[in-house]
Chains A and B, each alone.
Chain A
């Protein structure tokens, strides 16, 4: 059985920032993985764009949707295919992969903060800053992706940006406190 270090003093800021970093790290790993899958699945598909979707009655009943909603599902995919610039799909797949890896790493950094490892405050500043930079790059890309994709992406990138901004500032404050 493993036993943690006996009551090593852990500053409260490190424990709560660590716990929050773990929760957001988990969430963002899931979000980036889903975005990667979205771009992987929605490829350039001319056949699908020119076809009418199948909307069998039993499927409509099973998912409790109307015929109009079923047809709009195809339109939603077409919006992505038609409105994204040529570079957008590859860019999103790369940035999602990178963001997913860093978000996953932030879970370990969060756990290290809770344990208050020596390297944890510096690690937190670096990891959260990288996430912040990724959000900034995503924001710049989304602003150049046209109005339909901006409406889809920009608000949640902004939300994540501010979450990471707050976490970076808290990590910096904790880091400076540690130095004193």
Chain B
């Protein structure tokens, strides 16, 4: 029924690190946007925003590594008896879209930050160049893209999770490919 050749272990680690990071960014961003605007007396936003940017940029690196491993060590072709050929094509398109949306989310967030006038120091070590200057309109433009790509990402994540649960209940060997120790 199903071949069980899975993803490489390093790809699995990258996948789950990206997953935890994405969920953390969603939850923390909903919370941190309810904190008072930064001022001399109110500095509550400083740490969460820095952490948010650091994790977002790190996701880009993880994604690059995951894609490299995905193509360098491709998992075996899965043959499921009940699947139609168009389903496989849909799954490929879905994954392509998922990678593009994650990339867009991270890049638009970084660009928005660049035009906000706030510097980004990656994990408080590496000072990243500011690609932009302080420009409120561009900041709002990129932050709108960031907002909508993130909502799109949440929808894609929900589809991803429901697909995983569907295959787990069918016990058809699909989830085992990404859930190996």
Chain A residues in contact with chain B, CB under 8 A?
1-7, 10, 12, 15-16, 18-20, 22-23, 26-27, 29-31, 33-34, 37-38, 40-42, 47-48, 51, 53-56, 58-59, 61-63, 70, 73-74, 76-77, 104, 107-108, 110-112, 114-115, 117
Contact = CB atoms under 8 A, between A and B. Distances in A.
B114 to A, nearest CB: 15
Contacts of B27: 30-31, 34
B165 A111 contact: no
A78 to B, nearest CB: 10
B36 A53 contact: yes
A73 B47 contact: no
Given A4-B5, A30-B20, A115-B179, A10 B171 contact: yes
B65 interface: no
Interface string B144-181: 00000000000000000100110011010101110111
B165 A19 contact: yes
Given A30-B23, A30-B24, A34-B24, A22 B4 contact: no
B36 A12 contact: no
Contacts of A27: 23
